């Protein structure tokens, strides 16, 4: 076949593809069924199409589109859809399909995608969009990177971008309009997205054929996501609650284990399995708002505040070995030390680094106490003791709590961290942020706080909160203020006024 004939055939095939995709403008389910290589060799070889709940949701969206019958001139009412669900049902996949469908069928569409944390957005939500676009029939229509998805024919006016949901980034959600097309917003893990972001996004739903979709585990019984799914604003939204047990993808054995451990009516099962809000105020132990405020806050530190180090030791694999530092309200000034699980398999590497930490000065201060997780760190503590570092202590996360309302020492340390975050300052490291807002919790029969374990988090797909545990370790025990040499001389070598108990 000549080059001219090949070009003509390619042009005809492209024309047919354009017509085919245009025909799906009011039918997102048919778009998803036809645009991806279902049952073909590769990653979709075992899948024939969307799960039933995804099919039903796509049908709802198509119905809403057809009801509005947008003529590309007269603005129509926004499509508002919210999905509260249990864990692991394929929400991020549905997000990817919706983005791809809107961008493929609506020339000039403009969209914004966000999630509760930067880590969720950059490592889960947005990569799903990249993956599904890449495997589609019309992947060549788009340029997609970590910062944007753009139509090649009109990249400046036909695009979608990922944006963090921090309140200070609210302007990124403003001024988004598409009078003759679709302005759309997608919120993933929407329960923790600040009210200000929702308010600004409403401004982009005033013209054209606007759409907003919100997905998430309902970890709070307050806030915007709760109101649109279960509360005072639910009449304005199409909303659904999806039980993980009714879906194809979740691990049914894991769900059965959760129900056995926590109980069918527990908040953990209500949120993580049934897609219902907790009966308590929230399931997420540390809320995102106090984390973000601590990242912005400037603090002062008293001269006698001791420098404390927390060392969370991993067992290898994907978990990290992390040392974090805190002086009073400041856990930002001294950068953390992070050693991969693979490199940390050689314990001599960790011992050497910890010894350096204890010998060195850090911004003019020496570490007064280092607290080490004993699960994988007991041998490290023992070696550091033989090297003369007597101010290194092993901490048993499962040990007794000094506070009566916490089930164990880990829950106590995290409770102390949670309270401290209202006044303290932390760095903006994405792994610390993700780790702090990752664990859920429940109240046991003795009315004590039980924090979700690392193992439980990993079973539901969350990474180990290594940085957060390292920070929490700095609250393992009280550490006395630093006594300067001149003060020791002043009190006759006793170190503090008031006799030997000072």
Structure tokens at 32: 């998803």
pLDDT for 491 equals 43
Can you give the pTM of this predicted structure? 0.76
Strands (E), 265-317: 307-312
What's residue 268's pLDDT? 86
Q: Distance (Å, rounded) from C-alpha 104 to C-alpha 85?
A: 27
Report the pLDDT averaged over residues 203-230: 94
pLDDT of residue 391: 97
pLDDT of residue 4: 61
Predicted confidence (pLDDT) per residue in 414-425, tens digit: 999 999 999 999
Instruction: Name the nearest CA neighbour of 118 among 436, 449, 455.
Output: 436
Q: Is the pLDDT of residue 9 over 80?
A: no
**The predicted structure's pLDDT at residue 497:** 39
Which residue in the block uniquely carries the two structure tokens 């042009």? Answer: 11
In whole angstroms, give the CA distance from residue 26 to residue 66: 6
Domains of the chain: 3-262 (3.40.50.300), 288-473 (3.30.420.240)
pLDDT of residue 501: 28
Confidence at residue 481, expressed as pLDDT on a 0 to 100 scale: 94
Distant-in-sequence, close-in-space partners of 146: CB < 8 Å, separation ≥ 6: 122, 126, 162
What is the distance between the alpha carbons of residues 323 and 432, in angstroms, rounded to a whole number?
12
The confidence band for 456, taking pLDDT boundaries of 50, 70 and 90, is: confident
> Under DSSP, is residue 205 helix (H, G, I), strand (E, B) or coil?
coil
Tell me what pLDDT residue 2 has: 54
What angle do helix axes 28-35 and 52-68 make, rounded to 10 degrees? Answer: 130
Q: What is the mean pLDDT of the chain?
A: 91
Looking at residue 464, what DSSP letter applies?
Answer: P
Residues 6+ apart with CB under 8 A from 375: 313, 315, 397
Helical axes 52-68 vs 91-105, angle rounded to 10°: 30
| Of 228, 233, 152, nearest in space to 187 by CA | 228
> DSSP code of 406?
B
Between residues 6 and 213, the one the model is more confident about: 213
Instruction: Answer whether residue 121 shows pLDDT above 60.
Output: yes
Q: How many CB atoms lie within 10 A of CB 458?
A: 15
Strand, helix or coil at 441? strand
- pLDDT tens for 326-379 read 999 999 999 999 999 999 999 999 999 999 999 999 999 999 999 999 999 999
Q: Say whether pLDDT at 471 is over 50.
A: yes
């Amino acid at each position: 076949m000549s080059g001219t004939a090949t070009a003509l055939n390619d042009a005809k095939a492209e024309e047919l593809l354009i017509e085919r995709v245009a025909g799906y403008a009011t039918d997102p389910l048919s778009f998803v069924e036809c645009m991806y290589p279902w049952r073909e060799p590769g990653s979709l070889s075992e899948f024939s199409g969307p799960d039933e709940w995804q099919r039903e949701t796509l049908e709802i969206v198509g119905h809403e589109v057809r009801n509005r019958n947008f003529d590309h001139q007269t603005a129509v009412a926004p499509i508002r859809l919210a999905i509260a669900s249990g864990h692991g049902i394929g929400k991020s996949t549905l997000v990817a399909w919706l983005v791809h469908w809107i961008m493929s069928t609506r020339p000039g569409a403009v969209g914004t995608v966000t999630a509760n944390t930067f880590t969720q957005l950059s490592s889960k939500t947005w990569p799903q969009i990249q993956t599904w676009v890449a495997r589609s029939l019309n992947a060549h229509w788009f340029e997609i990177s970590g910062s944007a998805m753009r139509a090649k024919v009109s990249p400046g006016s036909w695009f979608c971008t990922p944006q963090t949901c921090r309140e200070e980034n609210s302007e990124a959600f403003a001024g988004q309009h598409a009078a003759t097309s679709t302005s759309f917003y997608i919120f993933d893990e929407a329960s923790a997205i600040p009210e200000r972001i929702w308010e600004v996004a409403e401004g982009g739903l005033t013209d054209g054929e606007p759409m907003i979709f919100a997905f998430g585990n309902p970890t709070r019984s307050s806030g915007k996501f709760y109101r649109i799914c279960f509360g005072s604003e639910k009449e304005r939204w199409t909303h659904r609650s999806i039980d993980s047990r009714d879906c194809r993808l979740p691990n049914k054995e894991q769900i059965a284990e959760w129900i056995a451990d926590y109980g069918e009516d527990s908040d953990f099962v209500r949120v993580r399995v049934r897609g219902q809000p907790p009966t308590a105020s929230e399931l997420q132990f540390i809320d995102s708002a106090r984390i973000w405020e601590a990242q912005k806050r400037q603090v002062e530190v008293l001269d006698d505040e001791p420098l404390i180090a927390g060392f969370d030791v991993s067992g290898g694999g994907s978990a990290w070995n992390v040392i974090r530092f805190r002086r009073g309200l400041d856990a930002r000034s001294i950068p953390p030390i992070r050693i991969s699980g693979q490199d940390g398999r050689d314990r001599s590497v960790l011992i050497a680094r910890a010894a350096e930490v204890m010998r060195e000065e850090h911004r003019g201060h020496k570490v007064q106490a280092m607290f080490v997780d004993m699960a994988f760190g007991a041998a490290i503590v023992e070696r550091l003791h033989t090297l003369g570092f007597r101010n290194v202590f092993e901490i048993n996360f499962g040990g007794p709590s000094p506070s009566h309302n916490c089930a164990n020492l880990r829950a106590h340390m995290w409770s102390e961290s949670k309270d401290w975050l209202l006044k303290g300052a932390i760095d903006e490291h994405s792994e610390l942020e993700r780790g702090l807002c990752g664990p859920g919790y429940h109240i046991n029969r003795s009315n004590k706080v039980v924090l979700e374990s690392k193992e439980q988090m990993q079973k539901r797909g969350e990474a180990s909160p290594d940085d957060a545990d390292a920070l929490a370790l700095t609250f393992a025990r009280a550490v006395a203020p630093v006594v300067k040499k001149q003060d020791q001389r002043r009190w006759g070598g006793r170190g503090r006024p008031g006799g030997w108990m000072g």
